[in-house]
Structures are given as C-alpha cells and as structure tokens.
Amino acid sequence: MKVLLVGASGTIGKAIIQELAPRHEVIEAGRSNSQYPVDITNVDSVRQLFNKVGKVDAIIAAAGNVHWGSFKEMTADEFRLGLDEKLMGQVNLTLVGQAFLNDGGSITLTSGSLSHDPYVGGASFTTVNSAVDGFIRGVAVELGRDCRINSVSPNVLEESWAIYGGGVPGTTPVPVAKVALAYRKSVEGNQSGETYRVW
C-alpha cells in the first residue's frame, strides 16, 4: 500500500515507519520535512501536499501540539493551540484527504488516553482527544467507497516518560513499538469508527 504519514519525524511517527515500511511504501510528511512539507493548520498547505503526493491507500496523522497547564491560569490562545493543531489539523487532513483516498483506503488519526483518563493540567488534552475520537465515529458512517477511519489513543510513552510522566502519576507507560501496532491494525485491518486504546 501507499501510505502517507504526517508527523513522520516524531517518536510515534518513527515507530510507525519501522512497523509499516517493510510491507508498504511510506511517504513521510511533516512541518520540517524538506520533500513533503505541510502545515496541517492550513488547508491550502494540506491541499498542496496531496496534490504533490497524489492518490494513497492510507493516511496516518501523528502530529499536532496541545498546551499542558493549569486551567485556572490558561489563556484562550493556549487552549486554542490544541483545537487549531491537533483537532482541526487532523480534520483538515481528513477533509482534503478523503478525495485522494483510493477505494477501500483508510485514515488513522491520533487522540490520547486523557480523553477518558483526565489529569490536572490536561483539560485541553482531554477536550481535544475526546473530540478526535468523536470525529472519527461521525465520519465513519459517511466516508463510503469502503473507506475506513479510526483513531489511536495511546497512554504516555515509555520513551517520553521522563518528560511527561510527572503529569500522570500512577499510570503505566507504554512502549512506542506497541503503539505502532495499533496503527498497523487500522491500516491493514477492516474496522472503522474504532478508537484503539493502547495501555
């Protein structure tokens, strides 16, 4: 399959490449990618990416920043970061990408465990991740052409635990290689409208 991966340079993105590249053609895209640059917050940038890449069998999004911090002290702009990047960025990829998806293709977005397991400081994460999971369920009934859409909702990664672990005490981090398997399940499987929680 021809797989477009947005966010290829991140920790999850690199693991997805390792998991999928032996069997599929993985096209790496991202904000800092020289060959396939894209700003997912900008619809024109997303459209330019797909015009360059052409038709694909799978679209994976593993990109989008969200602000972590006390809700009592959070500004509207800080809260909006996650809405613009992680939520609308992935919505933009889906809106534009659906026309470039081959029949029977798939779209896989990324949410996160705070959608159902909130922590102090993570109000924006909980909001955005929940919205992504709701979005894929809503879109799944409309895609047509046997196309599918799912989301992957990982817990904090072992590889990122030193940075983020203090914010989610009492949870068990997951290895990124295990998270990558959920993306494989979405790309190579048959389910749609599912959120794959990786704990």
Query: pLDDT tens across 77-111, in order?
Result: 999 999 999 999 999 999 999 999 999 999 999 99
- What's the pLDDT at 143? 96
Q: 137-150: per-residue pLDDT in tens? A: 999 999 999 999 99
Confidence band for 179, pLDDT divided at 50, 70 and 90 = very high
Q: How far apart are CA 138 and CA 155, in angstroms?
A: 23
CA of 78: how far to CAs of 63, 66, 124, 126, 169, in Å? 17, 8, 9, 14, 23
CB count within 10 Å of CB 18 equals: 13
Q: Which two tokens stand for residue 70?
A: 């006390």
Domain spans, the chain: 2-198
Q: How far apart are CA 180 and CA 176, in angstroms?
A: 6
- What's the pLDDT at 121? 97
Q: How far apart are CA 108 and CA 45, in angstroms?
A: 19
DSSP code for 118: -
Q: How far apart are CA 101 and CA 167, in angstroms?
A: 38
This model's pTM is above 0.75: yes
Check if CATH label 3.40.50.720 holds for domain 2-198. Answer: yes
Q: How far apart are CA 21 and CA 27, in angstroms?
A: 9
Could you tell me if 98 and 107 are in contact, meaning their C-beta atoms sit under 8 angstroms apart? yes
Signed CA dihedral, 132, 138, 141, 144: sign only: negative
